[in-house]
Structure 1
Amino acid sequence: MSFSLFLDSLIIQAAGGPNVFTYFAQSNFAGKIVIFILVVCSVVAWSVMLGKYMDLSRLRSQNQRYEHMLSKEPHLLALDPDRPGKGGGPYYNIVREALEAFFRYGGHVADADVHRATLRMGHVENALQRGVAEQTIRYEARMVLLGSIVTGAPFLGLLGTVWGVMDAFGGMAGAGSASLQSLAPGVSGALLTTVAGLVVAIPSVFGYNYLLQQTKISVVELENFASTVADRIELEAQAAANA
């Protein structure tokens, strides 16, 4: 504790007047722990937001390149099921799983048996649903962590404030004197934790809402692409059976 008091005095002397450092020095031990936790949460939140934005941008770029390549292919079923063209990303994985399911049930594209063709397309649609679910998990990765920081940061700040005010009033009652000069430092230090909580939560909530919206858009685009793939496979298989 003596080292903590020495550090607090250095901060006050270096600051030269009431500011954030002064208020931090006037915080109780619990308030300083809360502020430290909030600093860690802020670093994590910004890392998640920047990393998630870069991931979504990269996946969208991969999807656009692969969709452009696929639009030039006259026959989707002519692609290699193990490696359906050059590319990567969610769209690529969706097509690969759909083709693997299609050729797993039969080795040939054409199938004159209507029942077998229907059963085959059922396998393809199930594979597409599983693929969409897996890629959705990939899109939504780390969003729970960011949402937890958005929700929890203000409450952590409030906890530090309430605790600090409680200590300030408790110390004043133990001293047997009540004055604004004796109460103000503890209260100002306690209020710092609420400010820190809001500083962490406000940018995080804007980033979370933006990333959540982009994730929802990407998932809808993925579902539409999977539906398009199912239609192409069914039409090409039907055309081959009628040929």
Structure 2
Amino acid sequence: MEQVGLAATSDVTLWSLFMEAGLVVKLVMVGLVAASIWTWAIIVDKTMSYGRVRRRLDNFEEIFWSGQSLEELYRTLSEQKTTGMGAIFVAAMREWKKSFERGARTPIGLQQRIEKAMDVTLARESEELESRLGSLATIGSAAPFIGLFGTVVGIMTSFQAIAGSQSTNLAVVAPGIAEALLATAIGLLAAIPAVIGYNKLSGDANKITGRMEAFADEFSAILSRQIDEKLQPRQAAE
């Protein structure tokens, strides 16, 4: 009898546990595995994306502070799709040129319009950086509870099997309990990377956004000085 019990338990594998699980537990496991795959896809994609964004920021800063004229840099960037600091720069310069073409007279109003244009672009870039991070937060918080739900259902099914067989032999009980606990394990397998990935990627996104905000402030100061230089002689002549 003992040898039979050992043989039964030796045949228990992850695949056999999944195949012997009830329909609800199977659906829970499949959903959690899909969530885990989606989690890793987001983490890998965002890690690579943030690396590209950092390189673009470094390249733009190198060009911007190299002494190249703002007009020339604007002509170059306005003809191509820009992101990050480049998008903020183009938005500010576009508003600058439109305002002077329309005969801007008050430096305060012009400065406010330029800052508003940069703020809108910065918000759009920040939103793009943080896209899909909400999915990681949702998976990280919900996956353990979904796995626990599958465990509860599995244990209830096991107890029903025990009652039906009227036996509490470990060889009878163990597979049902194991398949129930497998749902919790898969839930944790999905949740742990999601939580760690969300915290890491959120921090990276905040650092990148901080760099863009710092550039926007510096560029706003540069344009403010140029606004004063252009408008003060005009106001004095009037």
TM-score, normalised via structure 1 length:
0.83
| 1:1-243 superposed matches below 5 A | 17-73=11-67, 75-76=69-70, 79-80=73-74, 83=77, 88-107=82-101, 113=105, 116-173=106-163, 175=164, 177-181=166-170, 182-241=172-231
CA contact (8 A) 1:81 1:100 kept: no
**RMSD value, Cα:** 2.6
Q: CA deviation at 1:177?
A: 1.5
| CA distances 1:135-192 after superposition (whole Å, capped 9, x unpaired) | 111110110112111112111111110010111112333x261413333221111111
Change (3 A) 1:119 1:96: same
Change (3 A) 1:86 1:185: closer
Query: Percent same amino acid at aligned positions?
Result: 24
CA contact (8 A) 1:49 1:207 kept: yes
Change (3 A) 1:199 1:24: same
Name the SS of the counterpart of 1:222 in structure 2: helix
Rounded Cα–Cα distance in structure 2 between residues aligned with 1:211 and 1:52: 7
Name the SS of the counterpart of 1:179 in structure 2: coil
Name the SS of the counterpart of 1:131 in structure 2: helix
Rounded Cα–Cα distance in structure 2 between residues aligned with 1:235 and 1:86: 28
Q: CA deviation at 1:219?
A: 1.2
Name the SS of the counterpart of 1:164 in structure 2: helix
CA contact (8 A) 2:107 2:231 kept: no
Matched length: 226
Q: Structure 1: which 5+ residue stretches go unaligned? A: 1-11
Change (3 A) 1:77 1:108: farther
Q: Structure 2: which 5+ residue stretches go unaligned? A: 1-6, 234-238
Rounded Cα–Cα distance in structure 1 between residues aligned with 2:112 and 2:76: 20
Name the SS of the counterpart of 1:18 in structure 2: coil
Name the SS of the counterpart of 1:49 in structure 2: helix
Q: CA deviation at 1:213?
A: 0.7
CA contact (8 A) 2:39 2:193 kept: no
